[in-house]
């Protein structure tokens, strides 16, 4: 199985103009959260001003996923950056509401970094990890 894909989860990381975008697809749970964490670590090394977590293709998140995202939000905030979750399904957003972490969905995204705009984004390598 590739580093960027597990049976029910895949992640892609890209950067453009001081913004990093991580797109997550599938189910984010205890088994797959290490892959998201590796992507977040790769992004952290670039020190972007803003990190966008695009969850338009994320179908499920459990408490370990929420915890990983909250930790990433804290790291970004401590470094003067911003981490924003966007484009989630109603069921994913509901988990954040139940855990009182819906504030992660706040923050305006300018048109110049809209996730739908595919031009100019450069890939970010996610390090391989031995199993």
Fold adopted by 5-106: Transcription Regulator spoIIAA (3.30.750)
C-beta of residue 71 within 8 angstroms of C-beta of residue 42: no
- Domain residue ranges of the chain, discontinuous segments joined by +: 5-106
Identify the residue whose tokens are 């997550």: 24
Q: pLDDT tens digit string along 71-112?
A: 999 999 999 999 999 888 888 989 888 988 887 776 544 444
% of the chain surpassing 70 pLDDT: 82
Nearest residue to 129 via CA among 34, 43, 31, 22: 34
Q: Residue 112: what pLDDT?
A: 42
Beta-carbon count within 10 A of 121 CB: 18
Distance (Å, rounded) from C-alpha 16 to C-alpha 14? 7
Q: pLDDT tens digit string along 31-51?
A: 999 999 999 999 999 999 999
The pTM (predicted TM-score) of the whole model is 0.83
């Amino acid at each position: 199985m590739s580093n960027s894909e597990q049976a029910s989860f895949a992640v892609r990381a890209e950067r453009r103009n001081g913004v990093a975008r991580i797109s997550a697809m599938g189910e984010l749970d205890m088994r797959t959260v290490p892959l998201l964490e590796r992507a977040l670590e790769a992004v952290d090394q670039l020190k972007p001003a803003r990190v966008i977590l695009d969850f338009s293709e994320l179908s499920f998140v459990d408490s370990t996923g929420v915890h990983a995202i909250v930790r990433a939000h804290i790291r970004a905030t401590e470094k003067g950056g911003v981490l924003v979750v966007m484009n989630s399904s109603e069921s994913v957003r509901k988990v954040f509401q139940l855990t009182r972490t819906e504030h992660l969905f706040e923050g305006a995204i300018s048109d110049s970094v809209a996730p739908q705009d595919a031009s100019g984004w450069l890939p970010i390598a996610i390090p391989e990890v031995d199993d």
